[in-house]
Amino acid sequence: MMQLWDVEVKSRKIEIVLILAVLLASLPLILNYGLLILSSFSTEMVTNLDPTSFRPTIDNWILLFEGRLSVTGGVREDVVRYTINTAIVALGVAGVVVLVSVMAGYAMSRMNFKGRSLIMQLILLLHAFPGVALIIAVYLIFRATLPSDIELARIYSFAYVIVARAALEIPMSIWLIKGFFDRVPWEVEWAAIIDGASRLRVWREVMLPMVKPGIAAIAIFAFLAGWEDLIYVRTFLFDRTLATYIESNINVEFAYMPLLAAAGTLYLLPTILFFILTQRLLLETSTGGIKG
């Protein structure tokens, strides 16, 4: 009994030490984001770790959604519109990535065809290319295919940026989701086939639910990639997103920093939210029923 207690105390100590270490390591990050969020609710930036500079207000947020860049007036900006644009791009990227990766990943995992491993290696190679390196070629295709009608071109630019940005995410996502499919035992799929399900139905009703954590993971990564993207959005999208909006204002002389802090917080929000909300799903390993 004593010994057990002893062991428990020991492990708790270790746990506390570990938590402290993790906290210490992430302190600069937490501080950074903390100050940013704090500043967005203050009339002055809270940057020098000086609590007296914090004067609470929600004006920044009101101004932000009124679309103004300074307290005194400034250029009107449609921040709500930008937020919606950002969401369109992010959701679009997530949608395309999930659709393509889930199908390709299943094929890579389950179907036996010539050149499969070659394709897998090429995909990995593709992933190694940074998006910036490809952007000139991608831009040339964009110029060549852009419709002349301006309204159409605007819509086209959305579609184009979504597909182009998704293309950067897809290689890694295919690898990731293939790993999830690989872990589903063949027997489960066979069981469904013997039960009379068609290949498509097996895929939809048996395979997909079993790789749900994987789908969630690639969806989140793709969503965030789309939400945060700056280079592709700035190059191709006619409209603005939160990223390009903030970027274009950082160096502007009349920029009112606490207001930008509010914009930055808004920009960060999905990242934080997603990780908090989906942490469990991401960590969840597919439940039992598969013993070998």
Partner 1 sequence: MVSVRLEKVTKKFGKVVAVNNVDLEIEEGEFMALLGPSGSGKSTLLYLIAGIYKPTSGKIFFDDHDVTNLPPRERNVGLVFQNYALYPHMKVYDNIAFPLKIKKVPKEEIRRKVFEVAKLLRIEHLLDRYPGQLSGGQQQRVAIARALVKEPQVLLLDEPLSNLDALLRVSVRSELKRLQKNLGITAIYVTHDQAEAMALADRIAIINEGVIQQVDLPEVVYNRPKNMFVGGFIGNPPMNFVEAGVEYNETVKLIVGEDSVWLPQEYIEILRKLKLQKVVLGFRPEDVLVLKDESQVEPGSSVIRGEIFTVEPMGREVLLTIMIGETMVKVYAPPTQYYSMGDKVFLQINPAKLRLFDPDTTIALEYLVKT
Binding site for partner 1 (CB under 8 A): 185, 187-188, 190-198, 201, 206, 209-210, 212, 286-292
Q: Which amino acid is at 33?
A: Y
Per DSSP, which regions of 150-259 are E strands?
none
Distance CA 180, CA 152 (A): 39
Q: How far apart are CA 24 and CA 37, in angstroms?
A: 20
Q: Judge contact between 83 and 65, C-beta under 8 A.
A: no
Q: How far is the CB of 283 from partner 1 (least distance, A)?
A: 15
Residue closer to partner 1 (CB basis): 3 or 287: 287
Count CB neighbours of 46 within 10 A. 22
Q: In the complex, what is the shortest distance from the CB of residue 274 to partner 1, in angstroms, rounded to a whole number?
A: 23
Q: Exposed, middle or buried: residue 222 (CB in 10 Å: 0-12, 13-18, 19+)?
A: buried
Q: Which is nearer to partner 1, 189 or 239 (CB)?
A: 189
Instruction: CB nearer to partner 1: give 95 or 185.
Output: 185
d(CA 116, CA 114): 6
Question: Of 130 and 209, which has the nearer Cβ to partner 1?
Answer: 209
In the complex, the smallest distance separating the C-beta of residue 55 from partner 1, rounded to whole angstroms, is 52
Q: How far is the CB of 114 from partner 1 (least distance, A)?
A: 16
Amino acid at 190: W
Q: Residue 213 Cβ, how far from partner 1 at the closest point, in Å? A: 11
Coil vs helix vs strand at 69: strand
Minimum Å gap between C-beta 202 and partner 1 is 10
Residue among 161 and 210 whose Cβ is closer to partner 1: 210
131 vs 213 by CB, closer to partner 1: 213
